[in-house]
Structure 1
Amino acid sequence: MDELVREWTAQLLDSGNVAALIAGLISLVLVVNRATWLPLRNVVTIAHEGGHAVIALLSGRKLNGIRLHSDTSGLTVSTGKATGPGMVFTLFAGYPAVSLLGLGGAWLVTADLAHVMLWGCLVLLAAMLLAIRNAYGVLSILLTGGAVFAVVWFATPAWQALCSALLSWFLLIGGLRPIGELSRKRSRGRAANSDADQLARLTRTPPGLWLTTWYLLGLVALVLGGTWLLLMPQV
């Protein structure tokens, strides 16, 4: 029995597009299923808040800290000019950051650079840890980093590629769900200070414009990244 399992596993890993398809289906289930989505949403929140933080620094703002909460929400605080392009780009960056990270991961996997993706994740998580300002945030970063490190340290290159594909799919698919959740909250009047509403006040545009833009960007990233993953010859 063990020999059959090993043989099946080897055949699966040798067939990159089949393995990528299975990884995509698993990621879809993880995102759609509420029981798995609630804890794993922390990964999406980490990427989201990291996007805010990176753009805040690139736009010349001072990063004061990041907080991650047990309800999977987050907050990135930066100081600088309260209006202008820097603030707009900082507010805008959170939702697209998740999809763009998934897209970048998909490209690295298809370029046979899964190990670069994994080490890159560890570097980014370590840098983000320095900016975390609450205990739950530290725990979230350490658990996520520990899982990635375990793959880097113990998994074979083929399994590293498969896990990287799974993470890429999860970010590509999971990057869309919070946008829908935000839209529903706004329809019930429960998200007056969301990124979309703050952008609307800064730019005097409808909040729905930002939600639509984020969703379209996420869909483009999903289609492009998914195509790359499904067409790769070997994982």
Structure 2
Amino acid sequence: MSNWVKTILFLIGSALLTHWIPSSFFRNIDTMVHEFGHAVVTLALSGKVMYIELYQDHSGVTYSSITKQWAIIPVALAGYITASLFAWFLFSAYSKGKQRLGLQVMIVLSALSLILFVRNGFGIMFLVGFIALTIIVLALTPKWLRDFYYLLLAFLCLEESVFGPFSLVIYAWGNARQAGDATNLALHTGIPAIVWATLFTLFALWCAKQAVQAFLGRNKRARSSSRQSPTPSYRD
């Protein structure tokens, strides 16, 4: 079975499984990472981030001021690209047995977003709740529960990082002015919004393929190790 087929099956499977689990609260992690990407690139290009708002329907918006017109392009690109790379990072960390590091990175990003950017009521409550819960999971729960929690977050981020830009393709097809970042890019480059939405989706799928390969690679190594017989010992 090709890696692309495995990726598509994993995405469909994760979408089905995570919709059976009460996971709506955690879907805002992908939104937070997306908006954090916009904010960091804005600051890197000497722009000003006024604030970020995260909403209960898993959408978000970054309000910023950019003096250089060309800078709008990398800022608009940053959101979906950051979210896709972050999903890949989570599975890469898992493949190396570094789930604690992945959770710590999520806490740091959430804390920075809370302190520096997010100002609306729901966004603040979400970040405070997520940070507190994740610290509790890191400090007090057994390894099996911590790993389950980590994989739940990782698969949610993977799913959202792909289906987010895919939905952008649908929006761009129906109304190019309602395609979010793709619309902004179209206005400043002349390239149609549906083209940008398709590029976001293809990049997200490529990152998802890398993530799935990392996940399967770790599980394959674990199965191989468990099949190995113990080293014989000699006792006089």
- Band the TM-score falls in, shorter-chain normalisation: 0.7 to 0.9
Q: CA deviation at 1:190?
A: 7.8
Please tell me whether the aligned partners of residues 30 and 36 of structure 1 are also in contact (alpha carbons under 8 angstroms): no
1:87 corresponds to which of 50, 54, 72: 72
Equivalent position of 1:182 in the other structure: 168
Could you say if the C-alpha distance between residues 70 and 166 of structure 1 is closer, same or farther in structure 2, counting changes exceeding 3 Å? closer
> How much is the aligned-residue C-alpha RMSD, in angstroms?
2.6
* TM-score relative to the length of structure 2: 0.79
Deviations 1:102-146 (A, max 9, x none): 111111111121111111111110000021111111012122223
Q: Which residue of 2 aligns with 1:77?
A: 63
Q: Once the two structures are superposed, what CA deviation does each residue of 1:173-194 show, in whole Å capped at 9, x if it has no partner?
A: 2211122222223333385361
Match of 1:143 among 129, 137, 140: 129
For these two proteins, the number of residue pairs brought into alignment is 211
Q: Is the 8 A contact 1:109 1:161 kept in 2?
A: no
* Amino acid paired to 2:62: T
- Could you tell me how far apart the structure 1 residues matched to 2:163 and 2:22 are? 13
Structure 1 CA distance for aligned equivalents of residues 216 and 96 of structure 2: 13
Counterpart residue number, 1:215: 201
Corresponding residue to 1:121 among 106, 127, 136 = 106
**Bigger Cα displacement from structure 2, 167-176 vs 215-224:** 167-176
Q: d(CA) in 2 for partners of 1:100 and 1:47? A: 10
Query: Per-residue CA shift, 1:47-97, capped at 9, x if unaligned?
Result: 21111112212222121110112332211012122511x221111111122
The whole-number CA distance in structure 1 between the counterparts of 2:199 and 2:177 is 18
Report whether the alignment pairs 1:204 with 2:190.
yes
Aligned AA (2:112)? A
Q: Distance between the aligned counterparts of 1:230 and 1:25, measured in 2?
A: 16
5+ residue gaps, structure 2, are: 1-9, 224-236
Give CA deviations for 1:9-36 in whole Å, capped at 9, x if unaligned: xxxxxxxxxxxxxx988733255x4995
Residue in structure 2 matched with residue 152 of structure 1 by the alignment: 138
1:42 maps to a residue whose letter is N
Distance 1:193 1:165, change over 3 A: closer
Q: Larger RCO: Structure 1 or Structure 2 (Cα < 8 Å, ≥ 6 residues apart)?
A: 1
Please identify the structure whose Cα radius of gyration is greater: 2
Q: Residue 216 and residue 204 in structure 1: after superposition, are their counterparts in 2 closer, same or farther (change >3 A)?
A: same
Structure 2 counterpart of 1:102, one-letter code: A
Indicate whether 1:111 and 2:96 are aligned.
Answer: yes
Q: What TM-score results when the alignment is normalised by the length of structure 1? A: 0.79
Q: Distance in 2 between matches of 1:26 and 1:160?
A: 21
Give the distance between the partners of 1:56 and 1:50, measured in 2 at CA: 10
Which residue of structure 2 aligns with residue 50 of structure 1?
36
Structure 1 alignment gaps of length 5 or more = 1-22
